[in-house]
Amino acid sequence: MNFNPQISNLPIYEAGKPIELVIREFGIEPQNVVKLASNENPLGCSPLVLEAMKESIKSANLYPDDSYYELKESLANLYNVNSKNIVIGSGSDQVIEFIMHAKLNPNTAMLSAGVTFAMYEIYAKHIGAKIYKTKSSQHSLDEIKELYNAHKKEIKVVFLCLPNNPLGECLDASDVYEFISSIDSDTLVVIDGAYMEFAKFKDSRKTINPSDIIKLSNSIYLGTFSKAYGLGGMRVGYGIANEQIITAISKLRAPFNITTPSLAAAIAAVKDQDFIVKTLQNNFKEMSIYEQFAKDNDIEFIPSYTNFITFIFDNSKDSTQICDKLLRQGIILRNLRSYGLNAIRITIGTNEQNIKVLEALKKEI
């Protein structure tokens, strides 16, 4: 059977290994598995969310409200925008897919940092669009501008992952707004703010406000409930932009693209901002333990504005071997070899989880 040629060399996105795989392959008891590979919230989710989901199951036979009125109103109030400025996706990566189909074709291109969220490139390849990436792994606005100016006629989407996954760095908002102002009005600048709650908690200079983005003709802000809100399993994300952009990409949204329990969970999650504060406080308190460990053991790390930290190893150590050895002990971390880096990404967990990981890591380095 023949398929579209652009998918012939397309990689399959490598998600973090599930707990079930470790239990099955290595015979480790579930309670002894530590999964810190997928940037999930170690505190779970708000108690309000659990109650809302339980109640929503009673209506599992019914489709959700496809206008997503209550969720959009909650987000609109949170960000000081209008509900008409919001589109809901099954995770923010679905909104990325909408954007790609709305803006790209085989005669156009996307632009991103050298190492960033893999789905940007994968969705571009779905369409057969060209891909430009900077030589630098981390975001360099100078390099992005240089590539953009050299290929301006082709590039129709620019991705800024702020903070960046899987590395953790984050640009200052003032530099981002200046950059956006230099980009053509027909090129869409995507601010992927999946981890923005963490960045603005750590350093207000990193804060990108969706209320500022909607004033711009060529930008969209993406957010998700998978990280700070602890709803990775519910798959709810959103895009916020001016009404013209939202109207265009909403035409690509299938009806009922999130479930009834997912919708209920997201609505309840917005109401419990105290849980978000608790999550952020735990995250950066525990991250300091990893930073000190790296300094004590001469490991390079990227100062992180996210809920994970990236350790980069020299040639005397191998990230694949380290991750494999820890996996056999029931510790799941994210190897970044697929990004061309001798590095591992570690989600910040609970204190108990973090101590266990670092004790095991110490023995392998």
- Mean pLDDT, consecutive 10-residue segments, the chain of 365 residues? 73 68 73 91 97 95 95 98 98 97 97 97 94 97 98 97 98 98 97 98 98 97 98 97 97 96 98 98 98 97 98 95 94 94 97 96 91
Q: For residue range 193-238, list pLDDT tens digits in order.
A: 999 999 999 999 999 999 999 999 999 999 999 999 999 999 999 9
d(CA 252, CA 123): 14
* Fold (CATH) for 5-45+274-364: Aspartate Aminotransferase, domain 1 (3.90.1150)
Q: Which two tokens stand for residue 218?
A: 């060529």
pLDDT of 9 reads: 72
CA distances from 243 to 87, 96, 177, 215, 251 (A): 10, 17, 19, 10, 13
pLDDT of 11 reads: 67
pLDDT of 173 reads: 98
Per domain, the residue ranges of the chain are 5-45+274-364, 47-271
Q: For residue range 84-122, list pLDDT tens digits in order.
A: 999 999 999 999 999 999 999 999 999 999 999 999 999
pLDDT of 15 reads: 65
pLDDT of 26 reads: 67
Going by the DSSP 8-state scheme, the letter that residue 253 receives in this structure is P
Are the folds of 5-45+274-364 and 47-271 the same? no
Assign domain 47-271 one CATH number from 3.40.640.10, 3.30.70.270, 3.10.129.10, 3.40.50.620.
3.40.640.10
